[in-house]
Structure 1
Amino acid sequence: MSRIAVLGAGAFGMALAAVHGFEGRRVTLWGRDPARMAALDANRGDPDRLPGVVLPDGVACTADIGRVAHARVLLIVVSAQNTGAFLAERGADLPPVPLVLCAKGIDAGTLRLQTEIAADTLPEAKIAARLAALTGPGFAGEIARNLPSALTLACADAALGQSLQARLAARRLRLYLTDDVIGAQIGGALKNVIAIACGMAEGAGLGHSARAALMTRGFAEMTRLGVALGARAETLAGLSGLGDLSLTCNSTQSRNFALGKAMGAGAARPGGTVEGVATARAACTLSARHGVEMPIAAAVADVLEGRLTIDGAMDALLSRPLRDE
């Protein structure tokens, strides 16, 4: 049976542990807080992080990093802005096995993607030909309840990618393989920024037409930056780009959409990690560096940072010079 370690016990980490546990695979779910992990192991669930989901008996919950030593695959599911710190702190404790990065975001300080952070942080002997990224349209609660989902597994090494695809796919979790690691991660990161914009439009009562315009033009921004960074445009048109964009821009299950909606309505911001907040400014910095226009991402960053109101952002976008599509 597969030995899979999931490092990070938030909602998505719990969901991945659950889906593999239900497949009969041996899973270790690691989290930093010993008291919480002991409670999670005893209660087989966490109603605050993932309501209504019961972890199968094959999932062992622990705060002891030593218990992942015998894993054959590591899924890193800490937040995107904490990946570097986590790997710097814990990397020496991890076995030299395939490492799958599952967070969606661009590091705000270094402008690196998740696999780039791992490659730059871990000892060279531990990362040779063993990095991959898992991304795409999947809400944690739906994956954990075994509802049908399809995700993208991105790996530059064809043989490793095929091996991981076979190990990590499940009956209700279909994995599509790509070697475009940059494109898959750019799509997963930038769709969060556009989801915040769509949430703002929803909360402000700007209508479905405005949301459609933001999604479509936001997708164009995602594609332009992705291609400038070396991605293939068709990758952005797949699950990890357009697919994830369509999911997160239309549901309050998305924390990014929910944050934008609350801001648009003048309500209190919801709690929890919202990956698009840090990624918005990182995307703008990258776009400036590569000469790529991203007016929607720039507007979102300015609103989040208090330099622009939502009305002001919409006026600025609508007053841009007319152009061909």
Structure 2
Amino acid sequence: MALARIAVLGAGSWGTTYAKVMADAGRDVVLWARRPEVAEAVTRQHENPDYLPGVRLPDNLTSTSDPVEALDGAEAVVLAVPSQSLRVNLSRWRLPAGATLVSLAKGVELGTLKRMSEVVAEVAGVPSNHVAVVSGPNLAMEIAREQPTATVIACEDHDRAVDLQHASTTGYFRPYTNTDVIGCELGGACKNVIALSCGMAAGIGFGDNTLATLITRGLAETARLGMALGADPMTFAGLAGLGDLVATCSSPLSRNRTFGERLGRGQSLAEAQQATHGQVAEGVKSCSSIRALAVRHGVDMPITEVVHRVCHDGLDPREAGAELIGRKVRPER
């Protein structure tokens, strides 16, 4: 069986869920958890009570707080830590030679403006075609409860993507393959920013017309950036583009959407963070790096621009909405 043993590094909601998916697909999976008590709960109680309460995890999914133990003999390593801490964590781990490295992180690194696959390849010292990414409408709790969904596994090496596809296919989780890593990663990163804007609109009290407008124009600016970086524009019409965008912008399970709602209701960034137990939505940080990447490539991203200003310059969300609707009129394309 190709990819019989998998290490998943990061025991948050998505890391644990994807570990469950691969275990349900018949693989032996070891989940690395930073906290020993989480590892103990996963192994002994078959549950991650902090992130997936009430979800029973498979018997062939074990956990450890020792990264060396988790990585021993792994044929694929799934990286499930936040985008802005990925580089630091990678520098601490000794990854198995020849293993396929899989990024679940969705963001663009602050400072370097690198995509996550670029960070992985650089720090791990591996060719880019050894790195795959997973992106799609993948709200963790729904998948953990085995509600049907699909995703995209993208890798420059098609055969590696196919191996991961087989290692992730279950009765409730359907992966497709793609070789457009750039497009899949940018779709996953930018949708968090657009979801913040949708949350802000909902927090203000705006309805479905506004939401549909933000989703559609958000997809347009994501595609503009993607094409400037060499992505296939058709990727943004698929699961890693439109699919992920709709789910993240619409669902109350989306941390970025709900964080944006708090900002739209008038809470400050600090107040919204306090209300979410100190957790900051990925889009709050990624909006700055994506904005800088757009500036570097001369791409107009007005929604990303105002989200950045709300999060980091104190712009009132209502003023942000007025700015967007008051922009100079132009053809749709």
User: 2: distance between equivalents of 1:41 and 1:17?
Assistant: 13
Moved over 4 A (4+): none
**1:73-108 C-alpha deviation (Å, 9 max, x unpaired):** 111111111111111111x24443111111111111
Q: Return the offset for 1:128.
A: 6.5
Q: Return the offset for 1:273.
A: 4.5
How do 1:66-81 residues align onto structure 2 when only pairs under 5 Å count? 66-67=68-69, 68-81=71-84
**Does 2:197 align with 1:197?**
yes
State the identity %: 41
How do 1:24-35 residues align onto structure 2 when only pairs under 5 Å count? 24-35=26-37
Q: Return the offset for 1:236.
A: 1.0
Equivalent residue for 2:17?
15
Match of 1:41 among 32, 40, 43: 43
User: 1: distance between equivalents of 2:212 and 2:129?
Assistant: 40
Alignment coverage as a number of residue pairs: 322
Structure 2: segments with no counterpart, 5+ residues = none
Q: Return the offset for 1:319.
A: 1.4
- Give the superposed CA RMSD: 1.5
User: 1: distance between equivalents of 2:129 and 2:201?
Assistant: 43
Q: Rate the CA distance shift 1:295–1:129 in 2: closer, same or farther, 3 A.
A: closer
Query: SS state of the match for residue 175, structure 1?
Result: strand
Matched to 2:235, the amino acid is: T
Equivalent residue for 1:156?
156
Q: Rate the CA distance shift 1:150–1:108 in 2: closer, same or farther, 3 A.
A: same
**1:144-189 C-alpha deviation (Å, 9 max, x unpaired):** 1111110000010122222222222222111111110000000000
- Tell me if the contact between 2:21 and 2:168 (Cα under 8 Å) persists in the aligned partners: no
How do 1:91-130 residues align onto structure 2 when only pairs under 5 Å count? 92-124=94-126, 127=127, 129-130=129-130
Equivalent residue for 2:299?
292
Query: SS state of the match for residue 74, structure 1?
Result: strand
Match of 1:89 among 83, 92, 102: 92
Q: Return the offset for 1:109.
A: 2.1
**Does 2:142 align with 1:142?**
yes
Which piece of structure 1 moves more, 67-76 or 182-191? 67-76
Matched to 2:304, the amino acid is: A
**1:8-64 C-alpha deviation (Å, 9 max, x unpaired):** 000001111122223332110001222332233222213331122111111111011
User: 2: distance between equivalents of 1:93 and 1:161?
Assistant: 19
Equivalent residue for 1:221?
221
User: 2: distance between equivalents of 1:292 and 1:35?
Assistant: 46
Q: Return the offset for 1:140.
A: 0.6
Equivalent residue for 2:318?
311
Matched to 2:33, the amino acid is: G
Equivalent residue for 1:276?
283
Matched to 2:85, the amino acid is: N
User: 1: distance between equivalents of 2:224 and 2:124?
Assistant: 30
User: 1: distance between equivalents of 2:22 and 2:300?
Assistant: 41
- Tell me if the contact between 1:71 and 1:95 (Cα under 8 Å) persists in the aligned partners: no
- Tell me if the contact between 1:77 and 1:101 (Cα under 8 Å) persists in the aligned partners: yes
Query: SS state of the match for residue 284, structure 1?
Result: helix
**1:186-239 C-alpha deviation (Å, 9 max, x unpaired):** 000000100000000001102221111111111110000010011011001110
User: 2: distance between equivalents of 1:204 and 1:128?
Assistant: 43
- Tell me if the contact between 2:154 and 2:181 (Cα under 8 Å) persists in the aligned partners: yes
Query: SS state of the match for residue 168, structure 1?
Result: coil
Query: SS state of the match for residue 37, structure 1?
Result: helix
Matched to 2:228, the amino acid is: A
Matched to 2:310, the amino acid is: V
